[in-house]
Amino acid sequence: MNTSIDIVSVTRNDLDGIKRTLASARSVRVAAAKCGVTMRQFVVDGSGPEISKDVRRCVEGEPGDVSYHHLPPNGISAAFNFGIRQSQADWIWILNGGDEVVPDPPIATLFEIPTRTASEVIIFSGTGPGGRVHTRPLAMLWPPVYCWIMHNATLVRRDLMNEFGGYREDYKIAMDAELWIRVFGYYKQADVIDIPLIHFEGGGVSDDVLGRAPESKRMLWDNKRLLYSRLFDYPKICWEAWRTYCRNEKALRKRERSK
């Protein structure tokens, strides 16, 4: 298998969370080495001085290609983009501190699909406190006006991230949903695989419906032209298809009468 995947893990003042993330990803990194897949993991840490020392020691004790990077707190979007800029891999996987790879990850699928697909996004599913969390079908990828795509269970081509400029750093909560609006608004292809890749506990800032409302509203406004243009695309396509089939039907009847 000839591909490369870089994991970006952002953490801040959560030593236990990043420990769990690193431990859960360990089996994937080990399997990658055996399968000929180049995999690195970047830990981007915005913790205070005392906790950052412990995070660094934790990272340095991990097997495989895991590197530590300290970044003064400037928002999670900035930390994401910093990690993305460190990467030279084919694919980026955002797996934050506190997120965990499932105990029995789909290793063969995770490593094979990126080598064979022509898509630019690969979306897996996950499990949460309530059990299995399904992905939505491909037909419902647009419009992603609710952030239902689990970015921590998603692989994105690095070239695509660079094309769209990564995450908008003026967003603090809804940065992933805003990115998906742009990505899928320009009809980028995705593979949707309803196999759990990650487990999340929930309870984070993104679960605060009221807290994220202002940014969620803003992401729609910021992308209003794109949303409106695509909103009218589909009825137009359906109308054009109806007219075409009506004309063809009339032509068919005329041909049959002329026989």
Q: What CATH number is associated with residue 18? A: 3.90.550.10
Task: State whether 142 and 39 are in the same domain.
Answer: yes
**Whole-model pTM?**
0.88
Residue 231 domain boundaries: 223-259
Task: State whether 179 and 235 are in the same domain.
Answer: no
Task: State whether 133 and 235 are in the same domain.
Answer: no
Helix (H) or strand (E) holding 196: strand 190-199
Whether 194 contacts 125, CB under 8 Å: yes
Residue 236 covered by a domain: yes
What angle do the packed helices 15-35 and 49-60 form, to 10 degrees? 20
Task: State whether 142 and 92 are in the same domain.
Answer: yes
pLDDT band at 4 (very low <50, low <70, confident <90, very high): very high
* 259 pLDDT above the threshold of 80: no
Task: State whether 100 and 197 are in the same domain.
Answer: yes
Residue 16 covered by a domain: yes
3 state SS of 26:
helix
pLDDT in tens, 117-168: 999 999 999 998 888 988 888 777 777 777 678 899 999 999 999 999 999 9
**Close Cβ partners of 244 (under 8 Å, ≥ 6 residues apart):** none
Residue 94 covered by a domain: yes
pLDDT band at 205 (very low <50, low <70, confident <90, very high): low
Task: State whether 228 and 202 are in the same domain.
Answer: no
Residue 216 covered by a domain: no
Residue 54 covered by a domain: yes
Strands (DSSP E) contained in 25-162 are 38-45, 66-70, 91-94, 100-101, 121-128, 131-133, 154-157
Q: What percent of the chain has pLDDT over 90?
A: 71
3 state SS of 189:
coil
Q: Cα 125 vs. chain centroid, distance in angstroms?
A: 11
Residue 127 covered by a domain: yes
Residue 92 covered by a domain: yes
Number of domains forming the structure of the chain: 2
Task: State whether 57 and 179 are in the same domain.
Answer: yes
Task: State whether 201 and 228 are in the same domain.
Answer: no
pLDDT in tens, 59-110: 999 988 999 999 998 899 999 999 999 999 999 999 999 999 999 999 999 9
> CA quadruple 166, 82, 2, 198: dihedral positive or negative?
negative
Helix (H) or strand (E) holding 191: strand 190-199
Please report the pLDDT score of residue 213 as a whole number. Answer: 86
3 state SS of 193:
strand
Task: State whether 254 and 167 are in the same domain.
Answer: no
Task: State whether 31 and 124 are in the same domain.
Answer: yes
Task: State whether 142 and 229 are in the same domain.
Answer: no
According to DSSP, the β-strands at 4-11 and 38-45 are parallel
Q: What percent of the chain has pLDDT over 70?
A: 96
pLDDT in tens, 23-68: 999 999 999 989 999 999 999 999 999 999 999 999 999 988 999 9
Residue 215 covered by a domain: no
* 204 pLDDT above the threshold of 60: no
Please report the pLDDT score of residue 242 as a whole number. Answer: 93
Task: State whether 36 and 81 are in the same domain.
Answer: yes
Considering all CA atoms of the chain, what is the largest pairwise distance in Å, rounded to the nearest integer?
Answer: 89
Q: Cα 191 vs. chain centroid, distance in angstroms?
A: 12
Preceding omega of 143 cis (within 30 degrees of 0): yes
Please report the pLDDT score of residue 28 as a whole number. Answer: 96
